[in-house]
Amino acid sequence: MKTVVLYLDKISAPMEELVTQSFSDVAEVKFLDPSQGAQGKLDEARYMLATNFLVTREVIDNAPCLKMIQRTGVGYDNVDIEYAKTKGLPVSITLGTNASSVAELVVLYMLGLYRKIIPLDRQSKTGVWDSWKYRHESFELLGKTVGIVGSGAIGREVMKRLAPFCVNLIYYDIKRLPVETEKELGCSYRPLEGLLKEADIVTLHVPWLEATRNMFSRERLAMMKYGAILINTARGPVVDEKSLIEALKEGRIGGAGLDVFDPEPFTPDSEILKFDNVITTPHVGAATLDNYRRVFTFCAENIQRVERGEKPENIVNGV
């Protein structure tokens, strides 16, 4: 049987071309909902590539030739990994490929919020030249304390990119980094409550698990330093959005950079969109061409491993 890789999500024509090129020597790529490429069906797929598509048990049951499900990111909440396990199907993630893309977006949020880039841009484009409006509430990163919640691949990349800004780096994770790694990154460990009280900026890099749902509740948000900034590029449910909105209204939170929401996509009337001190993006932390070149290269190599009878990498469901 010909090796067919089925891309489940609808993507743009240039991205379809990139996927096809990445697999040109490996397999035939088809698309469940193509912009321009070959139309594919579930029942012919030996491998699935999933970005945002919900890979339910129904989807899996309609793919009798399936050998592996390959996520094009690090989260896997859109895949029924336990059901895949009962079918003997490995589910792989592209661990580490997106770390630099997300880390750069995090730094962009920090700079954009501190320098009021969004409201100043809107103001300037309406012809208003008011260079004094935000001077008393604009800041530098220099000397600020940045608290990183989650010291995985992305959290560590954020630390590396912040080092030249001469910030004080503190972090929390359920598993502390080795002392030599802390020294290398220039960071110090704190319990979560201590980090929240100390940090001028808090950025979240924890996985989406039931244990992290509403991790940033009303009580945790209230622990944050008055006027601190919150950045979430992890998953929407990690933050209690209703409580965040209350904290923004009261001025206890000085601003937020949000790439993830609950639900996604957010509704156009969402109250979180009404704040000038909130930057929102539609879950694009990993969405750079540079990252997807790495992602699709890894996916192609991982599929080749399976075809050679070898164990694929970054399996999250124990198969």
Residue 183 tokens read as: 């020294």
Paired tokens of 13 = 């024509």
The sign of the dihedral angle between the CA atoms of 156, 160, 161, 163 is: positive
CA 245: distance to chain centroid?
Answer: 21
**Residue 135 — φ and ψ, nearest 5°?**
-60, -35
CA distance 315 to 319: 7
Reduced to 3 states (helix: H, G, I; strand: E, B; else coil), residue 315 is strand
Report which DSSP code applies to 257: E
Report whether 158 contacts 203 (CB < 8 A). yes
Question: CB of 18 within 8 A of CB of 37?
Answer: no
- Outline where DSSP puts E strands in 127-224: 145-149, 168-172, 187-189, 201-204
CA distance 276 to 250: 14
Query: What are the backbone angles phi and psi of residue 260, rounded to the nearest 5°?
Result: -135, 150
Which residues carry out catalysis?
235, 264, 283
